[in-house]
Chains A and B, each alone.
Chain A
């Protein structure tokens, strides 16, 4: 079990934010290996879930907006789509915090999948309204699967900082 770290914002919010954005840029390079492109998961979703589980915060929503807008700028999507989708996901985690804290890894992973599905649902609605055209189910399913397999990273972040602030256990 990893050692518990002190809960300083730059440590539990700043560094994961930079790491997820770095991973997004790295996976955005036009590279094909044996004719196949790299998967494109939503890396920040892992951090968003972990932040909601660790403790409520006022910095986290601002960081989520920043990350979401960065994703939209980098991917060239509608400006605000991922910020809104991830804020909704964070709100869901925050509202269900008392229910999911202390649960086992599998239960948390399942909840992470549900929250990610909600975020993708918001994305579908926004794309439908903005572009008057719904994205296909297959590309949605691919990105969704690529995102939910990232839960171990989220779990690692939770284990590192969950016990740092005993008021929110």
Chain B
């Protein structure tokens, strides 16, 4: 039967109606796509294969398209350098003279810092490896502020890695593929970064709104910020290391505190991607789950568990034994060799060197030259340890006390115990206690 013979053969549907139906169907499909999209997630698979392939294709295209601009800029710089060589030489000489003075100050401070660290047994963050990349595309709208950098997973870049320019923090990686990675800028509406005011230690969340100056939200305390205050990353949440320069605080036209980004001082053409791993990535989950139950304290009253009663079993666990178990958690999670329970510290120097106290995630990695805490059970079981708390393998300018003597004694002799109480040394990076790691948990940025 031909179509003309069919009863529906003469049926004519106006194109306006079919067009409207097509629009409605398309809207439903797009809403479903939108609902399933999670571009700010910290899971690499959330970025999606479509975006990954598109970025992979776009990176070389953007690189080729931006090449004429780069060449022109380089040419202009060459000409400018030729014509302004004398004045630039004069300026550089003056700058060098000033920098030499700063170098002397920096060396003295570094020496002093090393001494304090050795005395207090502090372990600092290790140097963070970086990958350099060039920005090849740029989006600047109110709904999306991202950039595509021409370095991808082959360079070890992962989702969540912070990105910096030579002036300050730019954003973080939200998608990685081979040869390209997508950077979510601090100005994007999806960007929320924990920051602190350098002068007052006041915490805030830096929230982008598509404009050049992101907002400071959830500021706490009375007048925690004033015009011109330096804003740095706080390291809270563990995704971005503490102390990265972000910008300076200004009062916006809308009366809210905003930040003039340090990275805006110059064009962001080259970026450094910090291959930073937060605590949840470093921690050995299996080792953490398989920790041994500490033995009951000698002399403590124990209740014989009644068969078939769960409460009796719980009650049989001595309270004293559970405390070291908790204290062990950060140490074991931080891949430190000390597996037996650690007694709580008594002195200020011990407190500072206690593994569950000062260092969080990154602090657990040993800086070259500084040895780990002793793993001797005898030292750890005793409530007042006589064994050395930290051995200095690196530079240690305290020959009187000697490297083999206990740090607590050394601290007392040199007056460092009181120094530790007054804390003259700036708090170590990421001094916050580590949060309990979880696979499903998402950091708050």
B contact residues around A140 at 8 Å (CB): 142, 210
Distance between Cα atoms of A91 and B20 in the complex (Å): 7
Task: Pick the residue among A29, A31, A76, A88 that contacts B144 (CB under 8 A).
Answer: A76
Decide yes or no whether B269 CB sits under 8 A from chain A.
Answer: yes
Dominant SS among interface residues on chain A = helix
A125 to B268, CA, bound (A): 30
Q: Let me know if A130 is at the binding interface, CB within 8 A.
A: yes
CA distance A133 to B66 in the complex (A): 32
CA distance A25 to B141 in the complex (A): 14
Number of A-B contacts (CB under 8 A): 179
A57-78, CB under 8 A of B: which get 1 and which 0?
A: 1101110110011001111111
Separation of A76 and B37 alpha carbons in the complex (Å): 11
Within 8 A of B (CB), among A124-139: 126-127, 130-131, 133-136, 138-139
Set B20, B26, B40, B148: member contacting A131, Cβ < 8 A:
B40
- With an 8 A cutoff between CB atoms, is B337 at the interface? no
Which B residue sits closest to A72, measured CB to CB?
A: B144
Residues of A within 8 A of B208 (CB): 133
Does A160 interact with chain B (Cβ within 8 Å)? no
Of the residues A40, A75, A80, A94, contact of B23 by C-beta under 8 Å: A94
A106-B52 Cα distance, complex, nearest whole Å: 43
User: CB distance A61 to B209 under 8 Å?
Assistant: no
How distant is A158 from chain B, measured CB to nearest CB, in Å? 17
- Residues of B with C-beta under 8 A to A91: 20, 23, 27
**Chain A residues whose CB sits within 8 angstroms of the CB of B31 once the complex forms:** 80, 84
Given contacts A32-B267, A65-B30, A74 and B19 within 8 Å (CB-CB): no
Kindly list chain B residues whose C-beta atoms are within 8 Å of the C-beta of A74.
Answer: 54, 58, 137, 139
Known: A29-B69, A31-B66. A123 touches B143 (CB 8 A): yes
* B179 at the binding interface (Cβ < 8 Å): no
The B135-168 residues at the A interface (CB cut-off 8 A) are 135-144, 146-148
> Mostly helix, strand, loop or mixed at chain B's interface?
mixed
The docked-state distance in angstroms from the alpha carbon of A31 to that of B135 is: 10
**Count class of interface residues, chain A:** 35 or more
Write out, one digit per residue, whether chain A residues 83-96 have a CB within 8 A of any chain B CB (1) or not (0): 11001101100110
Q: Are B19 and A61 in contact (CB under 8 A)?
A: yes
- Please name all residues of chain A whose beta carbon is closer than 8 Å to the beta carbon of B135 when the two chains form the complex: 30
| A 135-149 binary contact with B (CB < 8 Å = 1; else 0) | 110111011000000
Minimum CB distance partner of A32 in chain B: B267
The reply to whether B30 and A78 form a contact with Cβ atoms under 8 Å apart is no
State whether A136 touches B19 (Cβ < 8 A).
Answer: no
Q: Determine how close the nearest CB of chain A comes to the CB of B26; give it in whole angstroms.
A: 4
Which residues of the partner chain B approach A97 to less than 8 Å between Cβ atoms?
16
> At the interface, yes or no: B437 with Cβ under 8 Å from chain A?
no
Whether A73 lies near B51 (C-beta < 8 A) is yes
| Residue of chain B at shortest CB distance from A70 | B54
A58 partner residues in chain B, CB cutoff 8 A: 15, 18-19, 22
Of listed B146, B208, B210, residue having the most chain A CB within 10 A = B210
Please list 27 pairs of residues, one from A and one from B, whose beta carbons are closer than 8 Å in the complex, sorted by A's number.
A28-B137, A29-B62, A30-B69, A30-B138, A37-B140, A56-B18, A58-B15, A58-B18, A62-B26, A64-B26, A72-B144, A77-B141, A77-B146, A80-B34, A84-B27, A84-B31, A87-B30, A88-B27, A90-B23, A94-B19, A126-B143, A127-B189, A133-B190, A136-B209, A136-B210, A136-B211, A143-B142
Query: Closest 4 A-B residue pairs measured CB to CB?
Result: A77-B144, A76-B146, A56-B19, A80-B34
**Could you list which residues of chain A lie within 8 angstroms of chain B, going by C-beta atoms?**
25-26, 28-32, 37, 40, 42, 55-58, 60-62, 64-65, 68-69, 72-84, 87-88, 90-91, 94-95, 97, 123, 126-127, 130-131, 133-136, 138-140, 142-143, 168
Q: CB within 8 Å of A: which residues of B?
A: 15-16, 18-20, 22-23, 25-27, 29-31, 33-34, 37, 39-40, 48, 50-51, 54-55, 58, 61-62, 65-66, 69, 135-144, 146-148, 174-175, 182, 184, 189-190, 192, 207-211, 267-269
